[in-house]
Structure 1
């Protein structure tokens, strides 16, 4: 068939079908937000864009023809601090032939502005070109959503910082109140007890009812002294002065006496230097965990383990109770678990919940050590 021979009916049908498919493809691409593209990485490191949709100029500030002529201009748009991640993700996708998903910032000179973009594409080997990979995918402008995400992240960071500050202020106030209760109120009660003892010795022997009243007041003073001691310990346990290990071990013993069932504590070391603020915060998280067990778990055994690792300490609390359902964590008013998690996060750590073998719950709190405490032991 020469150039003047009209196409056959079959050929004409194929041409019409191809034109129809092309029209459909163009319609889909033109209505797709972002830039539809093909990108090729050659075996020798060269790059090219065999196809770029009309969204190129709107997204990148460069016309498709200009970018196809100088494909390395795209890499030049990427901010230096994001370029390494772009290259690494590209080579990882090419090596494993896995989806390429990258987001980063570009400088659009046409508008003198920075944009966040996301590219998603699928790679395949390029037939007839050993070692070359071609991607088909789409680039989209995610600036609005990314800025909103960063704003939320900043808000959460600010909230965590505020939470940590509030907790510090609360602990300082607790320490002050505990000291005043112990020193002032405790001292006054001790003086009253001594005065009562002196008066009791001088009571007439023929008035036993006065002796009974004196004994009653003396017993009342004793109970008040015990209450003062208990309140002082709740506000600021003096065992924290001996370190986190001693404080946790003491609290486990107190919890065992309160609940009436077996509680055990083990530590990988006799003492772990967490620093005063971190020690108090970890101790408060631990107290909240025990409170949750007492209120909700229905447990008959609790095991507590403290372990020092290279850069953090891990506190694990295991009970054999009814466990925590996934929905329990999202219940309105479920501030105990949220508070524990926020406190752990404020310390640069994490809190995780998992199901214990045979039933019950495992609470794992990991807290970063300070730089000095994380140094190897001599």
Structure 2
């Protein structure tokens, strides 16, 4: 039971019909209380001299657990906390003699079973059958207080969730005049920004000061874009915490809401430093892997060139000498059809071997690369058309384009791999190739009119051809894109940066 007195509030009531008349009471004209208008309001008539209950309505008896016979021998002192005795005794004086005056009192009433409940009582003077009485109209506050407690508990739980959320939950307002304010900040403010909630409330501009100069423009631009388009505000940037001598990456996610010309964002800021560091490590790892891949490809091309030259020069030279010696021996053979037939067979075998040497040498490194990338691509296009019967047309904006050996080899290998894929999978009847120089970049586009490439084809785990093409382009700081060709089919577009023409000095070939 509460022992703290509730404050009294004096005022005036307006005349009206009293709701829920007291049991057994005549239709006396009494002023209505400003409270007690609900159907279950409690109504009491009290003798002002003795403060004993004279009458009470059914709602009062039901809530207290007493009948009227029991209440008739009781006073409000028997039901209220002792701390409210003084307030109760002062009622007659506070009401005075002026008609319509009333006094409000919040207290607790004790039921017959010993429990108690909160109630709001309005006392005023009334008369019944010419007898001066005190009228008390009360509303049970149990539900209201229970709802308040429940709301308070919910708010406490919600506040706990907010304050234990990793990062800073906040509410930010930009006024129509451009001024800004942080209207709500969670307890994560200090841990994230090194500023207390009070400091940021007092000086919201300190947050902008934390952002590194290189990142402030993007912060302001994304904020204004969110306001102008009325869409989510997403930003990532770095802040400098002087107290900790530390740079942090933070991620901001907020939702806008218009408020009478102002814009309010409800959002969260989180520390994404670890994520950014992981991204940076991944980027460095990929860069190192790309460097390794480029080195491996360079070594492979050098080894292919070496082997091709050795095959061409050594084996080719030896086979040429064998053919010449065989011709000399055949000329000196006695007339014998069997020997002549064997000599012819050996001669044709030598010819086939020389052709194989030439073919293997070209596969390892086409000698046409020494004539330039344009000539090499034209030769490969003709070979593709001759071998497969698929029309292959090459157009170039330049007759000659200076490329270093690495770039020329990589571009040629990408072209070869693309034609191989077309032959295997595209079911195409025509291939169009465009080589275009654009300032410091060279673009090679290969379009076919085949069945096209599906997303599933791109994601196949063993599509090493496409992966190898992409790695070759990346190793040169370029890009490789696959897309649907106009009119159907597939288009492969390779874009690489040109090397300094002064540094382009292709090594002369020993091929004949």
| Greater fraction of residues in helix | 1
Aligned match of 2:373 in 244, 247, 255?
244
Provide, for residues 196-246 of structure 1, a one-character-per-residue CA deviation record: whole Å limited to 9, x for no partner.
Answer: 1111111112x2222221211111111111111111111111111222111
Further displaced range: 333-342 or 44-53: 44-53
Are 1:258 and 2:387 an aligned pair? Answer: yes
Tell me if 1:349 matches 2:478. Answer: yes
**Cα RMSD, aligned residues only:** 2.8
**CA distance in structure 2 between the partners assigned to 1:202 and 1:307 by the alignment:** 59
> Is 2:433 aligned against 1:300?
no
Counterpart Cα distance in 2 of 1:295 and 1:312: 30
TM-superposed deviation, 1:22? 3.8
How many residues align? The count is 369
2:448 aligned with 1:319: yes
Q: Separation in 2 of the partners of 1:109 and 1:347?
A: 41
- Residue range with higher mean Cα deviation, 258-267 or 4-13: 4-13
Tell me, in whole angstroms, the C-alpha distance in 1 between the residues paired with 2:172 and 2:105: 37
- Inter-partner Cα distance in structure 1 for 2:387 and 2:272: 55
What residue is the counterpart of 2:204 in the other structure? 71
CA offset digits 1:57-81 (Å, max 9, x no partner): 1211221111222222222322333
Structure 1: how far apart are the matches of 2:320 and 2:10? 120
Alignment match, 2:213? 80
Cα distance change of structure 1 residues 318 and 93 upon mapping to structure 2, 3 Å threshold: same
Shift in Å, 1:55: 1.1
**Which residue of the partner structure matches residue 32 of structure 2?**
none
Q: Flag the 1:224–1:91 CA change in 2: closer, same or farther, 3 A.
A: same
Distance 1:372 1:218, change over 3 A: closer
| Structure with more relative contact order (C-alpha pairs < 8 Å, separation 6 or more) | 1
Question: How many angstroms apart in 2 are the aligned matches of 1:316 and 1:296?
Answer: 18
Q: Point out the structure with the larger strand share.
A: 2
C-alpha contact (below 8 Å) 2:403/2:501 kept by paired residues: no
Distance 2:301 2:492 in 1: 23
The 1:210–1:123 alpha-carbon spacing in structure 2 relative to 1, beyond 3 Å, is: same
Shift, 1:99, TM fit: 2.2
Distance 1:83-1:192 versus aligned 2 partners, 3 A rule? same
Map residues 170-249 of structure 1 onto 2, 5 A cutoff. 170-205=300-335, 207-249=336-378
Partner SS for 2:466: helix
Q: Deviations over 1:256-307 (max 9, x none)?
A: 1111232222122222223321111011011111111222223232222222
Distance change in 2, residues 1:211/1:10 (3 Å)? farther
1:21 and 1:311, CA in 2 relative to 1: closer, same or farther beyond 3 A?
A: farther
Which whole-Å CA distance do the structure 2 matches of 1:214 and 1:371 have between them?
A: 55
Asked if the contact 2:323/2:347 (under 8 Å) is kept, the reply is yes
- Of the candidates 107, 117, 132, which is equivalent to residue 240 of structure 2? 107
Residue 253 of structure 1 aligns to a residue whose secondary structure is helix
What is aligned with 1:376?
none
CA distance in 2 between partners of 1:254 and 1:299 (Å): 16
